[in-house]
């Protein structure tokens, strides 16, 4: 009899969680299930900071400044291109289906999301004034900035810093082992989170907003099944279906936790161990991607903007649609990899074209459902970009990953 692996237990836990959740009251779900799910998310988040610091420093220190520049340029290029395509898919689906038309909007509660900071503040915020403080606050961009700078310094120092680099490399390898330990709890965490989600919101919540949910998920599936597939096949010479099967744990974790940041340790493990992408590439591309690559969020924001415009009876011209697309791309890249952040940044997109922010209240009830899918897309995109860049850098991936190679 074939032994059930980790992913098998996660699928079982996921299915059982849905079944059990149907019979739970919101009170029981919140009191008895959510804490066990929160433990899982907290364990994953516990790994993020030390893992990002160690892997980034080792990765950057191990490559030349010229190669670092290449990796950064390639990653940002792919992130922006795929985000633009994601928004286009979302807008095309929303505009052709006319979702939101006739939706009742009376009695909405006013919603006031935080205003987006100016670009100067965003750039300054990337530079930490207190690195320890940034770690305590979980501010990923300042941590990435310092880690990259520190890695470059170690590379420039040469032999004198080799002992330090060996120590940090040891920390990185220890963190990979900690990830493995934490994943033993994964089936329990998945069961609890799904049970809480279904028990709190109920399956009935899907009915009134079925069209919005359907359009978003059709967009998610198209982006992964067409865009990522074509990018992987023609830019990375990667067999996309083999890739997706090998890394399937990562989008599953993203789907359950709704957090790109919390899923980062899992994504790094499966991409490195199951596809052969080097720690050098994954250690740089994936942490950056978890912060700035949000294709699913961009698609979601485009769909929701059109949905709310139709609900309020606001006609959208070509200029407004273009502004939605541009703002959604920029807002998605500035979205933190935590649950619900996409909903907050949606206010930026709505404000850009004059759609009442009160409309966010319409989406609040189902945002968790939408968040699960868009986070899974975000994480999948991070991995695909890492694989493409690994191919561009001439890395030899595991058998079966590249087109024309047989699995071992």
Do the Cβ atoms of 255 and 380 come closer than 8 Å?
no
Contacts of 240 (CB under 8 A, 6+ apart): 228, 229, 232, 233, 384
Position 119 scores a pLDDT of 59
Q: What is the CA radius of gyration of the chain?
A: 21
Tokens of 224: 């992964």
Quote the crossing angle between the two packed helices 367-392 and 279-292, to the nearest 10°. Answer: 150
Picking from 298, 322, 309, the residue whose alpha carbon sits closest to that of residue 355 is: 309
Assign a CATH topology to domain 6-392.
1.10.3860
Determine what percent of the chain is predicted with pLDDT higher than 90: 26
The DSSP string of 118-146 is PHHHHHHHTS-S-HHHHHHHT-HHHHHHH
Picking from 382, 220, 385, the residue whose alpha carbon sits closest to that of residue 296 is: 220
Name the residue with higher pLDDT: 242 or 405.
242
Q: Tens digit of pLDDT for each residue in 347-397?
A: 768 877 788 777 776 776 677 888 889 999 999 999 999 999 999 999 999
Q: What is the mean pLDDT of residues 279-297?
A: 85
Do the Cβ atoms of 193 and 37 come closer than 8 Å?
yes
The residues that bridge with 238 in the sheet, in sequence order, are 402
Is residue 111 predicted with pLDDT exceeding 50? no
| C-alpha to C-alpha distances, 187 to 88, 167, 180, 183, 190, nearest whole angstrom | 36, 33, 13, 8, 5
Tokens of 32: 């008895």
Contacts of 252 (CB under 8 A, 6+ apart): 7, 10, 11, 14, 190, 376
Contacts of 377 (CB under 8 A, 6+ apart): 86, 220, 223, 224, 251, 295, 296, 299
| pTM of model > 0.75 | yes
By the 10 Å C-beta count (0-12 exposed, 13-18 middle, 19+ buried), 204 is classed as: exposed
Residue 352, number of CB atoms within 10 A of its CB: 18
Q: Tens digit of pLDDT for each residue in 118-176?
A: 656 666 877 888 888 888 887 777 887 888 889 888 888 888 988 998 998 888 888 87
Q: Tens digit of pLDDT for each residue in 4-57?
A: 777 678 778 878 888 888 888 878 877 888 888 888 878 877 877 887 788 778
Q: What is the rounded distance in angstroms from the CA atom of residue 260 to the CA atom of residue 262?
A: 6
Domain boundaries of the chain, sorted by first residue: 6-392
């Amino acid at each position: 009899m074939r032994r059930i692996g980790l992913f098998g237990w996660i699928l079982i836990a996921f299915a059982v969680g849905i079944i059990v959740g149907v019979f739970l009251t919101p009170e029981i779900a919140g009191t008895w299930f959510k804490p066990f799910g929160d433990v899982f998310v907290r364990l994953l988040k516990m790994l993020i900071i030390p893992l990002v610091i160690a892997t980034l420093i080792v990765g950057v220190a191990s490559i030349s400044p010229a190669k670092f520049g290449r990796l950064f340029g390639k990653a940002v290029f792919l992130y922006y291109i795929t985000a633009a395509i994601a928004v286009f898919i979302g807008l095309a689906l929303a505009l052709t289906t006319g979702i939101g038309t006739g939706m009742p909007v009376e009695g909405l509660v006013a919603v006031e999301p935080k205003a987006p900071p100016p670009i100067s503040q965003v750039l300054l915020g990337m530079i930490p004034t207190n690195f320890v403080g940034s770690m305590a606050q979980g501010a990923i961009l300042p941590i990435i900035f310092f880690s990259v700078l520190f890695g470059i310094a170690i590379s420039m120092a040469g032999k004198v810093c080799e002992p330090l680099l060996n120590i940090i490399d040891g920390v990185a390898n220890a963190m990979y082992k900690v990830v493995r330990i934490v994943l033993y709890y994964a089936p329990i965490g998945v069961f609890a989170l799904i049970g809480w989600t279904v028990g709190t919101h109920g399956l009935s919540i899907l009915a009134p907003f079925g069209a919005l949910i359907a359009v978003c998920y059709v967009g998610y599936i198209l982006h992964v099944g067409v865009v990522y597939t074509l990018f992987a096949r023609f830019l990375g010479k990667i067999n996309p279906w083999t890739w997706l099967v090998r890394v399937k744990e990562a989008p599953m974790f993203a789907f359950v936790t709704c957090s790109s940041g919390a899923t980062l340790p899992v994504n790094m493990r499966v991409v490195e161990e199951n596809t052969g992408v080097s720690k050098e590439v994954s250690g740089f591309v994936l942490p950056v991607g978890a912060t700035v690559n949000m294709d699913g969020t961009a698609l979601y924001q485009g769909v929701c903007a059109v949905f709310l415009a139709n609900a309020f009876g606001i006609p959208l011209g070509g200029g407004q649609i273009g502004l939605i697309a541009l703002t959604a791309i920029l807002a998605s890249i500035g979205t933190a990899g935590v649950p619900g952040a996409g909903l907050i940044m949606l206010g930026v997109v709505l404000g850009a074209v004059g759609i009442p922010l009160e409309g966010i209240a319409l989406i609040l009830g189902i945002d968790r459902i939408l968040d699960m899918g868009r986070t899974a897309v975000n994480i999948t995109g991070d991995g695909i970009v890492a694989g493409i860049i690994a191919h561009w850098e001439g890395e030899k991936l595991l058998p079966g990953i590249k087109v024309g190679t047989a699995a071992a």
